[in-house]
Amino acid sequence: MLLLLLGIIVLHVAVLVLLFVSTIVSQWLVSDGLTMDLWQNCSMSSSGSIQHCALSSTNEWLQSVQATMILSIIFSVLSLFLFFCQLFTLTKGGRFYITGIFQILAGLCVMSAASIYTARHPEWHPNSSPSYGFAYILAWVAFPLALLSGVVYVILRKRE
């Protein structure tokens, strides 16, 4: 049982790390000498060092992506906190419903953010054909892992 709890906690922490990295790192779109993320656009010099960074535009869709990514982090952190609280206060045989619901909400928020970004990114930088960066891919990887973690929490029963 201890190994199961440890595995669940490791999965949850991995989801949290993926969510933090995908939200913070400037690699959602990558083009020739240009990297874009949720917060800023950076152009690179020919030597590879960052030359100029500007804040991202104020598009409503980009703000909704920013908000849902932050919400996913908040829901996931809250879910981990609630798991530890329920671990010590839940009665024997009880299920971790609240923890699972918050983790599933975190997964749905990151899915919504990545979906909106996928649909709207051509409007943001229409003059080039950028490719997706690793932070964008990490967001999509965090989505099924968060859902899996949430479903495991809902199924999990507390034992002595």
Which residues lie below 8 Å from residue 141, measured CB to CB, with a gap of 6+? 18
Q: Quote the pLDDT of residue 7.
A: 92
**What contacts 48, CB < 8 A, 6 or more positions away?**
none
DSSP H or E run through 53: strand 50-55
pLDDT confidence of residue 141: 95
Name the pTM for this structure: 0.86
Distance CA 109, CA 146 (A): 10
- Let me know: does 151 contact 100? Beta carbons within 8 Å: yes
Q: What is the pLDDT of residue 133?
A: 85
Q: What is the pLDDT of residue 40?
A: 75
Give me the residues paired with residue 44 across strands. 50
What's the CA dihedral at 5, 11, 13, 14 to 10 degrees?
160
CA 134 to chain CA centroid, nearest Å:
13
How confident is the prediction along the chain (160 residues), in pLDDT tens digits per residue?
788 889 999 999 999 999 999 998 878 887 777 777 787 776 666 665 656 666 766 678 888 989 999 999 999 999 999 999 988 888 887 888 999 999 999 999 999 999 998 888 766 555 667 788 888 999 999 999 999 999 999 998 877 6
Please state whether beta strands 50-55 and 29-31 pair in parallel, antiparallel, or not at all (unpaired): unpaired
